[in-house]
Structures are given as C-alpha cells and as structure tokens.
Amino acid sequence: MEMIISYILAIVSYMLIDNVVLSRFYGICSFIGVGNKVKSAFSMGLAVTFVIMMATLVCYPLYFFVLVPAGIPFLDTLVYILVIASLVQIVGLFIKKNSPTLYKTLGIYLPLITTNCAVLGVVQTNSDASLDFLTSLANGLGTSIGFLVVIVLFACMRERMNGYNIPKAMKGVPIALITAALMALAFMGFGGMVG
Amino acid sequence: MDQVGYIILAISIVVILLAVFVISFVLYMRTPAPKGCEKLGIGPKNCEDCNVEGCMIYKQRHKKEE
C-alpha cells in the first residue's frame, strides 16, 4: 500500500510541483505555439502524453540493459533522439493507416512532438537520476499529465483574452508570456504539498 | 571488451536506430493519407491557431480580417 501511495505522490509531484513547462521550462515552443485554442491544445497534450509514455517504455530498457552494460552510456542523448523520432513516425504511421479522425486532429502536430524537448527531458531525467522502472513510468505519466493540464488551462485563458482590449504592443506572444509567468507563480503555490 | 569493440558496438547501435528511423520515415511517407486529409500541410485553414507574426500566411490572414 505504501508503494502505491508513493507512486501516486510521485505522479502528483511531477504533475503539479515540478511541472515540466512552468518549473522545468521544457516544451515552451509547443506551449506557446499550440496553446491558443483549447481543442488543438488538448490534441497536442494527448499526443505528447502518448509519446512520452512510449518513449519511457522503450528508452528505459535500452539504457539500463544495453547502453550501461555495454559501457557506452554517453550515447544516451543520441539514442533517445533517434528512438523518439522513430516512435513519432511509427505512431503517425498507425494513426494515418487506422484512424482518419485522429489523423485529421493530430496530423499537423505530429512532427512538432519530435522536437518537443519535454519528451527528451523525461527520458534523460530517468537515466540521469537512475530511477527504477515504475518511478520512471510515474515520472512519465506525471510529466505528461502536467503538460496536458497546463497547455489546456493556458489555451482556456488565451481564448478568454481574445475578447479583452489588450494594447497593441502586448498582443500575441508578449501577453502569452505574461500569462505563462503568472501561471508559473500560481503553480509555485503547490510547493511543499508533497513532503 | 577492448576499446575497438566498444566503438564498433556504439556505431552499430546508432546505425541500427538510424535504419529504424529511415524505414519508419519512408513507410510514413509512402502510406496514403486518409480521404479528406490529403492536404494537411501549411495553409490558411490549418494555420488558424498559429501566432507567428513574421509568417506570410499569418500576414495574409490578418490583412483579410482587417
């Protein structure tokens, strides 16, 4: 029971306290670029969640059972990039073949996931901190749900801001960055929630 | 394993992963897009969410709106 609670706490911690976008500053490009409309932000968040989980599942055994025993752990970043790029292509291939609706929703966002550093950040953290397999999965799940929550909340706020009278100089990216900063301050309030 | 063995192993792992990427990329490009999704690339319809003000499509879209 204690183990389950510790994994749940790890997920909550990676999701809210150590949030991938607002605390670790990964995935800012897609956060600003796609976090404009709730529908596309949700699609992007789901796609990133799927790829992060798949990358964690593939990269963990590759690092601990191939690279480390072979004495070549320095190749980790290169291997992760290739694995993530291949995974995105394979996921895209299946979506293209089997689910036209999902392909239409995610089609233009799929290549963006390859360049999303949040995916690389998760697998790199897993190997750098030598996390065990279940904690790595908890890290992946918490990080990806954190990304999904933050990008959807951000898109909701930006949609509402469209109706406000914002000075011309602040329109677009400047006001988006201020919103992100205020969100980061708000998320700091979660600090200390998990001991 | 000696140093040469490590180098060969490292190169072979990278080459295998590169081959997997190239094969998946080629398969992805060769797979026909579903009906109605043939043109999902850059265009005024698909770029509604984007805010990159330096882009030509963004400028064209906002000129029309003004």
Among A2-6, A63-67, A176-180, B60-64, the range scoring the smallest mean pLDDT is B60-64
The full set of domain ranges for chain A reads 2-187
Q: Which alpha helices (H) appear in chain A, and where do they start and end?
A: 2-12, 28-34, 38-62, 76-98, 100-106, 110-114, 117-128, 133-161, 173-188
Give per-residue pLDDT as tens, A1-57: 888 888 888 888 888 888 888 888 888 888 887 777 788 788 888 888 888 999 999
Distance of residue B43 Cα from the nearest chain A Cα, in angstroms: 11
CB contact under 8 A, A36 and B1: no
Give the pLDDT band (50/70/90) at residue A140: very high
Q: Is the pLDDT of residue A128 over 80?
A: yes
CB contact under 8 A, A82 and B14: yes
Q: Is the pLDDT of residue B52 over 90?
A: no
Give the pLDDT band (50/70/90) at residue A107: low
Residue percentage of chain A with pLDDT more than 70: 97
As a whole number, mean pLDDT of residues B4-23 equals 88
pLDDT at A146: 93
pLDDT at A70: 83
Which residues of A touch chain B, with CB atoms under 8 Å apart?
32-34, 36-37, 40, 66-67, 70-72, 75, 78-79, 82-83, 85-86, 89-90, 92-93, 96-97, 100, 103-104, 107-108, 172-173, 176
Give per-residue pLDDT as tens, B20-47: 999 999 998 888 877 776 666 666 666 6
First-to-last CA distance in chain B?
A: 69
Nearest CA in chain A to B17: A82
Q: Is the pLDDT of residue A59 over 70?
A: yes
- Cα gap B37→A55, rounded to integer Å: 27
Which among B1, B9, B27 has the least Cβ separation from residue A93? B27
pLDDT at A145: 93
Q: Which alpha helices (H) appear in chain B, and where do they start and end?
A: 3-30, 56-65
Residues with Cβ within 8 Å of A24's Cβ and at least 6 positions away in sequence, in order, are A18, A121
Characterize B43-53 residue by residue with b for buried, 16 or more Cβ atoms within 10 angstroms of its Cβ, and e for exposed: eeeebebbbee
Distance of residue B55 Cα from the nearest chain A Cα, in angstroms: 13
Q: Is the pLDDT of residue A131 over 70?
A: yes
Computed over every residue of chain B, the mean pLDDT equals 76
Among A40-44, A132-136, A191-195, B41-45, the range scoring the smallest mean pLDDT is B41-45
Q: Complex ipTM, two decimals?
A: 0.72
Distance of residue A61 Cα from the nearest chain B Cα, in angstroms: 14
This prediction has a pTM of 0.81
Distance of residue A195 Cα from the nearest chain B Cα, in angstroms: 39
Contact, B44 vs B57, CB < 8 A? yes
